[in-house]
Amino acid sequence: MSGPAPETARIRPGEELNLAALGEVLRPLLGDVELAVEQFPGGHSNLTYLVKAAERQYVLRRAPLGPVAPKAHDMVREFHLLEKIHPVFGEAPRPVFLCEDAAVLGAPFFLMERRRGVIIRTSLPPEFAALPDAPRRASEALVDTLARLHTVDIQHSGLSALGKPEGFNRRQVEGWAGRWQRAETHPNPTSERVTGWLLANVPPESAHTVVHNDFKLDNLMLAEHDPGQVVALLDWEMTAIGDPLVDLGLTLAYWTQRGFPQHQRTPIGEPAADQGFLTRAEFLERYAAQTGRDLSGLVWYEVLGVFKLAVILQQIYARYHAGQTRDERFARLGEQAQALIEEAARQIGAAGG
């Protein structure tokens, strides 16, 4: 049996950090020590590195290379958000250091504590292979963490200052539609049908809670020997205060993966129910039982989730298409984004829209 896959890797060409500049700005925190840096290879958005300073280790996050969408990849905002949410939601890592000076590494960045655990991406990792109930326990941990996040007291924590939650759902559609238009490389009239339907059917917010806005299984770090224990919830950059069902809709878009061509589907969630992962129905039943929320109008939120996922992939592909990144992992994301637009339209049609 093979051992666990390494968490970090050599830094991809073109994504190296200026260690001299980094060491200088971190001197007040770390002292005069030699730094070693590796890269976390997972993910397609922000650049994430492991910074080693003697016996101490931190995670460094900065925006991707090249031009980015307005208000996206805001590391300063994410740092300050983690400052507020870490004390009241322990799955959020503790932020340690913020550098707003883009001259140091080419963009603002921050350091946070390093947590160790296992992340499930496209298949069950070897750490969990011998545990027959691992898929179910990981699935339940995902649902339970989402439900618990949506109970955080936004007033007591100071998180209510993140923004005005009234009108959140309409602003979500308008904002993501604008991002799609700016990132579009191959015009698709189906996208206009999708955004038109979303705008014509905006529901009032079901509640006002913390919304992670990128809640998915591979943003959840699990304990190495216990897939039911959550070590960390990662990637807080898009977090807002709004309708919790927006989170649920996006999570389902990642979970079922119906919009991807068959050969590109991630075998996690609905396609892997026979392996023990929760089905869509089980997922929703568990969330509803813990939150008491009415999920009868969920189709709008799921269509929005599929559309948002399409936009996220298209924005990344647009940078690759324009030659702003050389990461070959991005070459087929445009195809996946188009497939997701068609999936959103299919769901609208199935709902009678």
- Sorted by where each starts, the structural domains of the chain and their CATH numbers stand as 19-113 (3.30.200.20), 126-350 (3.90.1200.10)
| DSSP state for residue 219 in the 8-state scheme | G
Q: What is the pLDDT of residue 251?
A: 94
The phi, psi pair for 204, rounded to 5°, reads -65, 155
Q: Are 186 and 329 in contact (CB under 8 A)?
A: no
What percentage of the chain reaches a pLDDT higher than 70?
A: 90
Integer Cα distance of 135 and 333 in angstroms: 27
pLDDT of 267 higher than 80: no
Contacts of 259 (CB under 8 A, 6+ apart): 253, 306, 309, 310, 336, 339, 340, 342, 343, 344
pLDDT of 189 higher than 70: yes
Mean pLDDT, the chain, whole residue set: 89
The phi, psi pair for 347, rounded to 5°, reads -65, -40
For residue 148, CA distances in Å to 52, 91, 141, 142, 144 come to 33, 10, 10, 10, 6
User: pLDDT: is 71 or 126 the higher one?
Assistant: 126
Q: Which of 46-50, 178-182, 264-268 is predicted least confidently?
A: 264-268
Integer Cα distance of 133 and 86 in angstroms: 30
| Residue labelled with tokens 């396609």 | 271
Q: In which region does residue 323 sit, left (phi positive, over 0), alpha (psi from -120 to 50) or beta (all else)?
A: left
Integer Cα distance of 255 and 266 in angstroms: 9
Integer Cα distance of 304 and 110 in angstroms: 30
DSSP class per residue in 242-275? E-HHHHHHHHHHHHH-TTS-GGG--SSSGGGGGG
Task: Name the β-bridge partners of 57.
Answer: 52
Helix runs in the chain, H state only: 19-25, 27-30, 75-85, 102-105, 134-149, 154-157, 168-183, 189-200, 244-256, 280-291, 298-321, 333-350
| DSSP state for residue 202 in the 8-state scheme | P
3-state secondary structure of 166: coil
Q: 246: burial class by Cβ within 10 Å (0-12, 13-18, 19+)?
A: buried
| DSSP state for residue 172 in the 8-state scheme | H
Q: What is the pLDDT of residue 265?
A: 57
Say if pTM beats, i.e. exceeds, 0.75.
yes
Average pLDDT over residues 136-150: 97
Integer Cα distance of 348 and 192 in angstroms: 13
pLDDT tens sequence across 270-319: 667 778 899 889 999 999 999 999 999 999 999 999 999 999 989 988 88
Band the pLDDT of 342: cuts 50, 70, 90. Answer: very high
Sign of CA dihedral 282, 286, 292, 298: negative
